[in-house]
Structure 1
Amino acid sequence: MGPGVILIATAVGSGEILFWPGIVANYGFQFVWLILTALTCQYVLNTEFVRYTLATGEPVVAGYVRLWRGFRWVFLAATILPWVWPGWATGGAQALQWLFGGEVRWIAAASLVIIGLLLSSTRLVYRALETAQAWMIGYVLVVLALVTALVVRPDTLAVAAGGLARSPLPFPPDLALPTLLAALVFCGAGGTINLATSNWARDKGFGLAAHASKIVNPLTGATQATGTALFRLTAEPGQAALWRRWWALARREQQVTFLLGGAFGLTAPMLIAYAMVGEKGLGVGLDAVRAQAQQLGAQFGAWLQVGFVIAVAAIFLTSALGVLDHAARLAASLLAQPKERLEPEPGRWRTESGLYFLVLWGLIAVGLVILLGFNVADPPALLTIAGALSGIVMFVYAALTLVLNIRMRRAMDRIEPALGGDNPFRMSWPRTLFLTVGVALYGALSIAVIQDALAKAAA
């Protein structure tokens, strides 16, 4: 297992179970091209983030900060603002409410606290995160495969395949642009979650990250400060071959987990929704998901309805777990860098590990205030906010990744000219093309969403 397991568990979430099944039930499969393009662009982005970590041993956000120090605060805001809304916890809570009753906000609040305790109860955070996500996403994929086998017919597959021949343009006038952008962002992980692939690869020990420290529980007494030193591949014998093996492993891991697992996790709920309800206008939200669960119970028995609802809850809760961990992880790495350069032996809570736990529980506290203090517990509204903000972030970091790669490739050519074609930052033209497509896709949709918001504000 590797970071792809955590990523796919986090990725199979709101877009797959909340946005796209509802969109398909209302508008058909005309957005298949956009879905496949967005998923492929995210795969390329993920592997490029891991490439940087394999070759340097540090998270890719540290590379952005090396381009311009101000990016530290840009990405800190981008990490906190879209994800502070507890939409994933409320989605899981609403699914659990269908089975057990109770108030959504209190169930969601309890979920946040349980996630915090899980991440705080182990010495090595990454290991606990990977294990929990692997078990939950395994259950989810098994349930989706079972339901797909039971309800999806050949005619549904034919209709879905026909979507490949249809253009998504023009967009349906009654489909809000923020909703569409959120759905495209969550075709996979979305937003700064993709960036955390680099941090997870570091804590897994991929490539030169084997030399870097890992985030540990500061309560254990281990106060290691995850390094900010930039490691570098050299032209020494065997280094190039080692690099090629790591790069091949990183790509295969993402292909199996994120690309294939994500494609199945994305298409299965859409096929299930269409097979069960067709284009009946059930809306975009959890009401459509609940209708599917009730229909499964009527056709196959309560056991499948309960199993499906638990899978829906697990989908949202794995996303909530990944969202909280990634936000705390990125924020800690951004906040720790300047302090650890000036203070070689910072105090326990000023290391990256200490800051991780402070940010984690800070996010949980804010989520509790939103849920209990302001009584905001509407998953689609909260997730649309997060998705629209994250789409703008993806436009920014897709462009920055191109710039960073060019800068690092030129630097390596200058410092280690003997590497030649084994320069770890030398991208193939298809990768460059997909990164460029990602910049254009997320940029165009972000501009459209901003224009739409300004027009509504002026009206």
Structure 2
Amino acid sequence: MAIGITLTLSPVVYQAVEKIQFVLVALIMLFVVVAIPAATTSAAWGALFSEGVGQVGFPVGQGGLGIALLLGALAFAGAGGANNLVQSNYIRDKGMGMGMHMPRIVSPITGHEEARPSLGYVFPTDDENMRRWRGWWRVANWEQFLAFFLVGVLSLIILSVLAYSTLGVGRVQEQDLAFLRLEGQVLQDVVAPWFGTAFWVAATVALFSTNLGIIDYTCRLIADQFKINALRDSRVWTESRIYVAFVWLMIAVGSLILLAGLDQPFALVVIASSIAGVQMFIYSGLLIMLNRRALPAQLRISGVRLAVLALSFAFFGFLSVLLVLDNLGGG
């Protein structure tokens, strides 16, 4: 409900999401920084380098790790297919460059909807525009590297070392949220009561920020596709109104699942993450096709980037096919 109210009442949705995520990520990083001297040990940091690589080989079948779980884990490790599909939507709403030519998603209640088409804009590839494009592309690359890759890798490493320092490996049976509860209790005993509580707050903030982003980008993708296809000529159903309608539909359906007592959170996560993995397969293929057929030659990716996309397409396609065969076989 808090996520729905936030997204519905934000005058410009992207600006509100960006500010909220910045604050939430800052809180998480504050905890991570404090955790290094307060709760990690030198032995754990040494084990990171001596034991961190683990067993060599494809991990399917080891410790109950199946195709669906592996596909979902790999998809969830990154932004996921749906999030990648709406990156251009975020760029548009950020108001940078090309985004200035497109209407933004706003609140139908507090925002001002713009009567402009949502079907895209291609700028002329003259010298001045290409200079601006290269400047934007450089900034976008650094932003992704610092905010997504570097912060993500460092926080994952530190949290893993924190768990190793306090709980070790193979010593506990708790899983899912029960593991988070146990970790917080151990931190309260080992470090201080306030630190265990801070761990739970950071975990809650992380889960909230993730769900805020998931609802936002999923509804952006749905609204975009409805507006440029089924509701293209509708004056009543603007992209912003479609977006808000699906925000509350997702919240209603999710609440009904919880109220119905469907006590299978792990199964639901595997289903959702597996779908994200299949989306990565489709998304990679669509992005290759877009670059080779639709974009001007000056804007197309090539070389290493194109090779990585092709590898992603083949890898996620391979896992997606294995997932289907695994389910058809009842495995």
- Superposition TM-score, scaled by structure 2 size: 0.91
What are the Cα deviations for residues 130-154 of structure 1, in whole angstroms up to 9, with x where unaligned? 1111111110111122223333334
Distance change in 2, residues 1:275/1:441 (3 Å): farther
Tell me what 1:287 maps to.
178
State whether residues 124 and 215 of structure 1, in contact with CA within 8 Å, keep that contact through their aligned partners in structure 2.
yes
2:267 to 377, 381, 384: 381
Pairing 1:42-441 to 2, within 5 Å after superposition: 113-161=1-49, 162-164=51-53, 166-171=55-60, 172-220=62-110, 222-225=112-115, 227-280=117-170, 282=173, 284-338=175-229, 341-343=232-234, 346-347=235-236, 350-372=237-259, 374-409=260-295, 412-413=296-297, 423-425=298-300, 427-441=301-315
Q: Which amino acid is the alignment partner of residue 387 of structure 1?
A: S
Q: What residue in structure 2 maps to residue 105 of structure 1?
A: none
Q: Partners of 2:116 and 2:278 in 1: how far apart? A: 29
CA contact (8 A) 2:4 2:248 kept: yes
1:213 Cα deviation from its structure 2 partner: 1.1
Residue type of the alignment partner of 1:157? W
> May I ask how many residue pairs the two structures share in their alignment?
328
> Structure 1 residues 385-394 or 180-189, which shifts more?
180-189
Specify whether residues 153 and 428 from structure 1 end up closer, same or farther in structure 2 by C-alpha distance, changes over 3 A only. farther
Distance 1:452 1:272, change over 3 A: farther
- 1:215 and 1:353 in contact (8 A); partners too: yes
Q: Percent identity at matched positions?
A: 30
Question: How many Å apart are 1:229 and its aligned residue?
Answer: 3.8
- Letter in structure 2 aligned against 1:440: A
Quote how far apart the aligned CAs of 1:226 are. Answer: 5.6
Task: Give the 3 Å change call, closer, same or farther, for CA 181–267 of structure 1 in structure 2.
Answer: farther
Give the match's secondary structure for 2:58.
coil
Distance of 2:83 and 2:111 partners within structure 1: 29
Name the CA shift for 1:311/1:191 in 2 (closer, same or farther; >3 Å): same
**Partners of 1:224 and 1:351 within 8 A in 2:** no
Q: Amino acid of the residue matched to residue 196 of structure 1?
A: V
8 Å contact from structure 1 (residues 225, 340) kept in 2: no
Shift in Å, 1:376: 2.2
Separation in structure 2 between the aligned mates of residue 352 and residue 241 of structure 1, nearest angstrom: 32
Aligned residue type for 1:180: L
> 2: CA distance between counterparts of 1:429 and 1:154?
42
- Residues 432 and 284 (structure 1), Cα distance of their counterparts in 2 relative to 1, 3 Å cut: farther
RMSD in angstroms over aligned alpha carbons? 2.1
Residue 28 of structure 2 contacts residue 206 of structure 2 at CA under 8 Å; is this kept in 1? yes
Per-residue deviation, 1:234: 2.0
Q: Using CA pairs under 8 Å that are at least 6 residues apart, name the structure with larger relative contact order, 1 or 2.
A: 1
**Letter paired with 1:352:** E
The CA deviation at 1:276 is 2.1
